[in-house]
């Protein structure tokens, strides 16, 4: 029996008919972009939802990361994780900053604070950690290091929308957090992103930087970029917010079913459940160990044969791409944990519309990759 393809994710969208009145309004008013009413309303709604004061919307998280570094005037070297999507360290290169890779913690898969401290040199000016898969970094330990060495902290929070933490708002950590609203994320505006910062002055600065550096009609103060989110995206975002809790609930249900199903499968481990935070279940990574009947790549291929497109996020490590490999910190001996994890990880499909039937097919294949009758 052939099945429709099942991808690692499928964007959630509100019903089209709900969007039409807003699209009609945008058509009528011809206000398409440049901080129009939907843009302003989404910034306000997100600030409320995220319980933060200052949100600046962006066209995507990559441009937001580039802009965040400019807003803080970061130069020299920045310590970051090799276990992420390549946009994290690309944002450093766009600012002529040298990425310095530090190893990750084997449980959270986020930057290991001890490794951060070991990587500091006199050229270090900032730390760019990632809340990988939405799992919060050890923000207290990172802030201690930042305070001790007077470093900025820019969190790449691309995966973290919707994560709630008991010990204080995750997005209040560091100087700046950057969110992604890409189609593949828990909350999407097709493409999109946002910067969360801590002061009105910083928000003003960021808003100038995302609009070419214009302060008013006749004054340009910096080489800003065009990082603005348009009105259609902002309108979609406002509707998405209404469905967010429902979407998160379905994700959590799938997460629980995977965990139960794999709890007794030898050679498969799921990410530890973090009691300190409520997960957004943005991804469902599993680690495939040597005592599993087949290799990680064989399981990946087996799933593909069944039209199921799991992904090896984040393999290869950023530090293993040719363009980063020459950096001294990219040496695999410096990144043993990240190297191990990248060779074992497989992200299984998780999204609100994943059907029970498809979920069961995935579970059965992972439980029994050799297809033996049991």
Binding site for ligand T4K (CB under 6 A): 7-11, 60-62, 84-85, 87-88, 130, 156, 158-159, 180, 182-184, 193, 309, 313
- For the four alpha carbons of 236, 241, 243 and 247, in that order, the dihedral sign comes to positive
Smallest separation (angstroms) from ligand T4K to the CB of 187: 11
Minimum CB separation of residue 215 from ligand T4K in Å reads 26
- 8 Å CB contact between 238 and 44: no
Cβ closest to ligand T4K, residue 156 vs residue 175: 156
How far apart are CB 183 and ligand T4K at their closest, in Å? 4
C-alpha separations of 15 from 21, 81, 182, 240 in Å = 12, 38, 18, 10
Of 336, 314, 285, 324, the C-alpha closest to 102 is 336
Q: How far is the CB of 126 from ligand T4K (least distance, A)?
A: 16
**Shortest Å, Cβ 156 to ligand T4K:** 5
CA distances to 47, 94, 146, 169, 374 from 97, in Å = 30, 8, 18, 29, 55
Shortest spacing between CB 48 and ligand T4K, in angstroms: 22
Please identify, using beta-carbon distances, which residue of 188 and 329 lies nearer to ligand T4K. Answer: 188
CA gap 96, 77 in Å, rounded: 9
Give the containing element (helix H, strand E) for 142.
helix 139-149
Residue closer to ligand T4K (CB basis): 31 or 183? 183
Closer residue to ligand T4K in complex, CB, 90/204: 90
CA-to-CA distance for 304 and 5, rounded, in angstroms? Answer: 9
Structure tokens at 60: 């995507």
By C-beta, is 87 or 115 nearer to ligand T4K?
87
- Strand-pair partners of 194: 57, 179
In the complex with ligand T4K, which residue's Cβ is closer, 8 or 127?
8
Can you tell me which residue has the tokens 């995750």?
170
């Amino acid at each position: 029996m052939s099945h429709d393809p099942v991808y690692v994710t499928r964007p959630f969208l509100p019903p089209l008919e709900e969007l039409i009145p807003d699209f009609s309004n945008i058509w009528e008013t011809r206000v398409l972009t440049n901080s129009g009413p939907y843009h302003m309303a989404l910034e306000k709604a997100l600030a409320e939802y995220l319980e933060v004061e200052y949100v600046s919307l962006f066209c995507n998280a990559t441009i937001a990361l580039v802009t965040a570094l400019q807003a803080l005037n970061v130069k020299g070297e920045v310590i970051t994780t090799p276990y992420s999507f390549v946009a994290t360290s690309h944002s450093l290169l766009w600012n002529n900053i040298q990425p310095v890779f530090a190893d990750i913690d084997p449980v959270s898969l986020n930057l290991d604070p001890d490794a951060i401290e070991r990587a500091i040199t006199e050229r270090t000016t900032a730390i760019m950690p990632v809340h990988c898969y939405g799992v919060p970094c050890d923000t207290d330990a990172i802030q201690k290091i930042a305070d001790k060495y007077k470093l900025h902290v820019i969190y790449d929070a691309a995966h973290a929308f919707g994560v709630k933490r008991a010990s204080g708002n995750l997005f209040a950590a560091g100087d700046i957090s950057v969110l992604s609203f890409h189609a593949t994320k828990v909350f999407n505006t097709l493409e999109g992103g946002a910067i969360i910062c801590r002061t009105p002055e910083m928000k003003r600065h960021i808003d100038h930087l995302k609009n070419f550096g214009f302060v008013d009609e006749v004054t340009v103060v910096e080489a800003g970029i065009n990082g603005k989110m348009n009105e259609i995206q902002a309108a979609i975002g406002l509707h998405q917010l209404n469905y967010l809790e429902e979407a998160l609930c379905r994700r959590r249900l799938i997460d629980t079913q995977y965990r139960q199903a794999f709890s007794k499968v030898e050679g498969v481990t799921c990410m530890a459940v973090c009691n300190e935070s409520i997960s957004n279940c943005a991804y469902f990574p599993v680690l495939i160990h040597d005592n599993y009947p087949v290799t990680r790549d064989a399981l990946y291929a087996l799933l593909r044969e069944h039209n199921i497109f799991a992904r090896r996020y984040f393999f290869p490590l950023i530090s293993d791409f040719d363009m980063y490999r020459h950096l001294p910190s990219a040496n695999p001996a410096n990144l043993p944990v990240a190297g191990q994890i990248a060779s074992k990880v497989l992200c299984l499909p998780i999204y609100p519309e994943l059907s029970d039937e498809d979920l069961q097919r995935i579970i059965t294949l992972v439980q029994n990759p050799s297809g033996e009758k049991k």
